């Protein structure tokens, strides 16, 4: 299909054998496929229970280990619940993430990045500001910018090239040029309610946003070297091919 990135989902737990992961990684390398890994949904860095935080650190560690097996250099994870006191939850999350970084130092030394994801629901930690705040803890942290989630969280606010530019500028201003050029991306059209994200849709369902064309234009113009994972409902590979076609079309405008 001409695709060159794949995100292996371990969202329900790290349940595959090392040998299987290494075989997949070998095939990915053979065909020039860049691998990333999505950590379990159970992670909650802001858990009020010490046991919950301890398990979250272990889930991150296990996923980092699996990433090494795959030959992947990015582990994507959801930061956790915002609870009733968002500010307190963020402080707890930062402490827990710092502990996870320490436990995972051997994997980080091999170039594997931890990538907190922007989330689409008001009840979750993961606004753009919160994710960037987490990433400021260490250079090994790289943001996963889910544009569909941000669109849903902020009630459909990504409508133009300027809206995307504002997000890209915010990332670079917060984390510097290097991480501002090489971050991770999830993309899909998303339906939302007042509470935020409701449902992922396919790219052809244009009644839902955001639209990829303005982002593709900016990525080409700014020469950003990012990985985009398509999260369309039931059409991930097909829509990923369409997103790549759109990007390459924009790229020709600057070559």
DSSP H or E segment with residue 58: helix 50-70
Domain extent, residue 220, equals 149-255
Same domain for 70 and 35: yes
Sheet holding 184-187, edge to edge: 144-146, 184-187, 227-230
| 108: confidence class by pLDDT, cuts 50, 70, 90 | very high
DSSP H or E segment with residue 237: helix 236-251
Final residue in a domain of this structure, among 142, 174, 206: 142
Same domain for 211 and 97: no
pLDDT digits (tens, 9 = 90+) for 139-148: 999 999 999 9
pLDDT digits (tens, 9 = 90+) for 215-236: 999 999 999 999 999 999 999 9
**Dihedral (Cα; 10, 143, 121, 154), 10-degree rounding:** -150
Please tell me the number of Cα atoms within 13 Å of 3 on its side-chain side.
18
What is the distance between the alpha carbons of residues 21 and 15, in angstroms, rounded to a whole number? 10
What is the pLDDT of the chain when averaged over all its residues?
97
Final residue in a domain of this structure, among 122, 142, 162: 142
| Residues in the chain, total | 255
**CATH number for the domain that contains residue 156:** 3.20.20.150
Beta bridge partners of 201: 189
pLDDT of amino acid 38: 98
């Amino acid at each position: 299909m001409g695709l060159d990135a794949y995100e292996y989902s371990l969202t329900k737990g790290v349940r595959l054998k090392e040998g299987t992961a290494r075989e997949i990684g070998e095939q990915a390398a053979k065909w020039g496929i860049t691998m990333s890994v999505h950590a379990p949904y159970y992670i909650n860095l802001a858990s009020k229970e010490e046991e919950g935080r301890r398990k979250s650190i272990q889930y991150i560690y296990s996923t980092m280990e699996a990433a090494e097996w795959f030959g992947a250099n990015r582990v994507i994870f959801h930061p956790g619940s915002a609870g009733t006191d968002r500010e307190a939850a963020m402080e707890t999350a930062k402490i827990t993430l710092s502990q996870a970084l320490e436990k995972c130092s051997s994997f980080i030394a091999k170039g594997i990045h931890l990538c907190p994801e922007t989330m689409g629901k008001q009840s979750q930690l993961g606004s753009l500001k919160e994710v960037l705040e987490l990433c400021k803890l260490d250079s090994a942290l790289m943001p996963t910018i889910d544009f569909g989630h941000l669109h849903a969280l902020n009630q459909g606010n990504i409508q133009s090239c300027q809206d995307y530019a504002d997000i890209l500028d915010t990332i670079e201003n917060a984390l510097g040029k290097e991480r501002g050029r090489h971050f991770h991306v999830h993309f899909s059209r998303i339906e939302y309610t007042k509470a935020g994200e409701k449902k992922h849709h396919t790219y052809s369902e244009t009644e839902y946003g955001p639209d990829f064309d303005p982002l593709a234009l900016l990525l080409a113009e700014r020469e950003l070297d990012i990985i985009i994972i398509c999260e369309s409902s039931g059409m991930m590979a097909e829509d990923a091919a369409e997103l790549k076609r759109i990007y390459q079309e924009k790229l020709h405008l600057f070559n």
